[in-house]
Amino acid sequence: MENVKLADLGSTDGSPGNYDYKLSSPMAFLWTMIIFLIIVAFIAAILFRQAEQAFMHNPGLNGLILGVLGVGIILVFNHVLALRPEVRWFNSFRAVGSAEKVGRDPRLLAPMRALLGSRRSKALSTTALRSILDSIATRLDESRDTSRYLIGLLVFLGLLGTFWGLIGTIGSINAVIQSLDVSSGNSADVLGALKEGLSGPLAGMGTAFSSSLLGLSGSLILGFLDLQAGRAQNRFYTELENWLSSVTDVGSEVASPIEAVNGASSEDMRTLSDYLRRATEDGSSQRSVAAMASLAEGIQGLVKNMRNEQQMLRDWIEAQQDEAKAMRRTLDRLSERIGGHERGNAHEKAGSDRGGDM
């Protein structure tokens, strides 16, 4: 009872162009991605000076972040462009009516090509039909694993730069405090040493914020492009599944053999056919729900990472404010001590002048 009939696989008369179903081109999603990158480039051009200053705080790590972003963009575009030859092969197969007459063999639709062969109609089992769709769905999902990893890698590199900058800031503040020598009695030297020492903490803060900014921005850009690639793949899969469902006749080939053996009526076979169709539709809907759940889980993970990083930044800013208050109190005490030394020196000088006059 598993055999099904695939009718009308190709054109009805074998002439090219005489078919009524085509897969849509993924170029609409490709143009959306290109327009989005143009907008991003325009914003980057407007903020070029600020972006250049932020980049130069840590050229090595920031350059690595931009390099990962560039590789991710190329991979995501390749995912969409890889659908074009598959769409052309399918449409040519529908027009010609024979897989052997289509020149270039597909890569993504290779299971479909192997099962259908060169004949216009072929008896396939429901397991074979499901294996075609499952194999294509698995290949589409696996092709995006690298881009998803790169999105997470960009977030990680941003966090790495943040912690790197924080470590440098804390060490520099400690070095500044230890290098202050109040006993010298020269306020200009003390303030000069303090000014030189503060350049280290400021550089560390620049590294932290610039790397975090580039990492989060890169993950946002690559995430949007990967979303468009996923939409293109989902439409390709949905249209292919709709076509396979439309050319599947579940009960036409199996009614006579089953009636001969079991004495089943045509009404029973019709009921069985409806049941199998509903089971196929339920399986498709469950897979769609699972895909949406997986996408929602990935988005929730990204949002959670961004919230954690924001909380860490807020905690760090509060810590820096406390450090600034402590530094201000230290400077006030230094100023009071330096002023006391200067007043004492002035009194001593005045006393010595009066003694000389006497």
**Distance between CA atoms of 169 and 317, rounded to whole angstroms?**
12
The helix-helix angle for 145-179 and 126-143 (nearest 10°) equals: 30
Residues in a beta bridge with 124: 4
What band does 351 get if pLDDT is binned at 50, 70 and 90? low
According to the model, what pLDDT value does residue 141 have?
A: 85
According to the model, what pLDDT value does residue 78 have?
A: 93
List the Cα angle 17/232/213 in 5-degree steps. 150
| pLDDT for residue 255 is more than 50 | no
Handedness of CA 141, 144, 149, 151 (dihedral sign): negative
Please choose, from the candidates 201, 209, 202, 181, the residue with its C-alpha nearest in 3D space to the C-alpha of residue 193.
181
For the beta carbon of residue 26, count every other beta carbon within 10 angstroms: 23
Helix (H) or strand (E) holding 328, with range, is helix 266-357
pTM of this prediction exceeds 0.85: no
| pLDDT for residue 220 is more than 90 | yes
Tokens 């907008």 -> residue? 39
According to the model, what pLDDT value does residue 337 have?
A: 78
According to the model, what pLDDT value does residue 257 have?
A: 45
According to the model, what pLDDT value does residue 130 have?
A: 78
| pLDDT for residue 238 is more than 70 | yes
According to the model, what pLDDT value does residue 321 have?
A: 81
What band does 223 get if pLDDT is binned at 50, 70 and 90? very high
The mean pLDDT of the chain is 74
For the beta carbon of residue 339, count every other beta carbon within 10 angstroms: 11
Average pLDDT (113-135) is: 66
Tokens 């074009």 -> residue? 84
Average pLDDT (3-28) is: 56
According to the model, what pLDDT value does residue 175 have?
A: 62
72-76, 103-107, 317-321: range with lowest mean pLDDT: 103-107
Distances (CA, A) of 3 to 7, 58, 126, 252, 271: 13, 64, 7, 10, 16
According to the model, what pLDDT value does residue 303 have?
A: 80
Q: Report the SS3 class of residue 103.
A: coil
| N residues, the chain | 358
- The proportion of the chain whose per-residue pLDDT surpasses 90, expressed as a percent, equals 16
According to the model, what pLDDT value does residue 261 have?
A: 42
**Distance between CA atoms of 303 and 314, rounded to whole angstroms?**
16
Distances (CA, A) of 166 to 51, 109, 307, 317: 20, 51, 18, 11
List the Cα angle 183/187/190 in 5-degree steps. 70
35-44, 142-151, 281-290, 311-320: range with lowest mean pLDDT: 281-290
Asked if residues 250 and 4 have their Cβ atoms less than 8 Å apart, the reply is yes
**Distance between CA atoms of 151 and 218, rounded to whole angstroms?**
8
Average pLDDT (336-350) is: 73
According to the model, what pLDDT value does residue 37 have?
A: 95
According to the model, what pLDDT value does residue 302 have?
A: 80
Q: Report the SS3 class of residue 249.
A: strand
According to the model, what pLDDT value does residue 264 have?
A: 43
pLDDT, tens digit, 9 for 90 and up, residues 57-98: 778 888 999 999 999 999 999 999 988 888 888 887 777 766
For the beta carbon of residue 33, count every other beta carbon within 10 angstroms: 20
Lay out the sheet containing 248-249: strands in order across: 122-125, 3-6, 248-249
Handedness of CA 13, 18, 19, 24 (dihedral sign): positive
What band does 139 get if pLDDT is binned at 50, 70 and 90? confident
Q: Who wins on pLDDT, 259 or 290? A: 290
Paired tokens of 93? 């197969």
pLDDT, tens digit, 9 for 90 and up, residues 263-313: 444 445 556 666 666 666 666 667 766 777 777 787 887 888 888 888 888
**3-state SS of the chain: helix, strand, coil percent to 5?**
80, 5, 15
Average pLDDT (188-206) is: 62
For the beta carbon of residue 48, count every other beta carbon within 10 angstroms: 10
Going by the DSSP 8-state scheme, the letter that residue 106 receives in this structure is: P
Please tell me which of 160-169, 231-240, 328-337 the model is most confident about, judged by mean pLDDT. Answer: 231-240
Phi/psi of residue 104, nearest 5 degrees: -90, 130
According to the model, what pLDDT value does residue 276 have?
A: 67
174-188, 225-239, 295-309, 323-337: range with lowest mean pLDDT: 174-188
According to the model, what pLDDT value does residue 325 have?
A: 80
